[in-house]
Homo-oligomer: A and B are copies of this chain.
Amino acid sequence: MERIRLADDLTFSRLIHGCCRLADWGYSREQLLGLIEFCLERGITTFDHADIYGDYTCESRFGEALALKPSLRGQIEIVTKCGIKRPPKYGMKLYDTSKTHIIASVEQSLANFRTDYIDVLLIHRPDPFMNPEEVAEAFCQLKQDGKVRYFGVSNFKRSQWEMLQSYLPFPLVTNQIEVSAYRLENLEDGTVDLCLEKRVPPMVWSPLAGGAIFSADDDRAVRLRGTFEQVRGEVGAETIDEVLYAWLLVHPARMMPIVGSGKQERIERAVRALSLSLSREQWFAILQSSMGHDVP
């Protein structure tokens, strides 16, 4: 599988496995290990986590599976996030990007994963109460201690990116953003342009729009179902999923879709999408179907 370069000594697999619903899959440690190995066999080596996923349980479940075969750690990249606090662990939902919390969160993540380093740590959401000097101090200390190799953000717009980056002595390596043919916001508001400008490949969450294209009744979803079905036939894909992934994969921004499924068949669909080549006409047919009108 294609590898995407994020730094001199860091690459991600083009497809990333997402663990935000890992707790819902009901897998035993052995089954989860099997899923990880299934991913690795297909070249998916990068795994996306966050401290809060599964009510703060996904990291440790993943770590327990890894512990069955410690040699896997060197073959994978672990991405995790911090900065959101929420029930049940905390009394209310809020953001915390203080130095103390970032470091404590990473320490907990290391314990959960039973590893001594995180490959990439992301600030989960732009925090309107962020003290960028504290974030920089936390990042520098974590890097110096070897606990986190690289840093990035998630859901950041241009102002937030430029602001935080200006306090850091090293470049942020990714911005994890939502993009799909159903949700065009980050394509329309300049966030994807920002990633291209900064040479930062974005991790893409919700590449299938959470299934909305298949189930929602709004005009956009209805239009997209028809267009995706047509393009699916044209390119000979087995499922619409593959076309949804392909629409992102052929974009020049080197988007890395996060495949958030525990089912082998669904992961296979994403892998098959790597072989699809959408034409420019098909790409715009899907875009315009989503917008509901032609480009100007």
Contact = CB atoms under 8 A, between A and B. Distances in A.
A252 B97 CA distance: 12
A157 interface: yes
Contacts of A130: 252
Interface stretch (A13-21, A56-64, A211-219, A282-290): A282-290
Contacts of A169: none
Given A281-B92, A295-B94, A193 B129 contact: no
Contacts of A125: 295-296
Contacts of A166: 197
A167 B94 CA distance: 39
Contacts of A283: 94, 129
A209 to B, nearest CB: 16
Given A128-B287, A132-B252, A190-B157, A196 B93 contact: no
A42 interface: no
A52 to B, nearest CB: 12
Contact of A295 (B91, B95, B98, B193): B95
A129 B92 contact: no
Given A190-B160, A295-B125, A132 B196 contact: yes
A96 interface: yes
A280 interface: yes
A3 interface: no
Interface string A260-296: 0000000000000000000011011101100000111
Contact of A284 (B92, B188, B192, B288): B92
A288 to B, nearest CB: 8
A128 B70 CA distance: 43
Given A129-B251, A129-B280, A280-B96, A197 B91 contact: no
Given A95-B284, A129-B287, A158-B190, 8 more contacts: A91-B281, A94-B285, A94-B295, A129-B252, A131-B252, A159-B193, A159-B197, A166-B197
Interface of A: 91-96, 98, 125, 128-134, 155, 157-160, 162-163, 166, 187-194, 196-197, 251-252, 280-281, 283-285, 287-288, 294-296
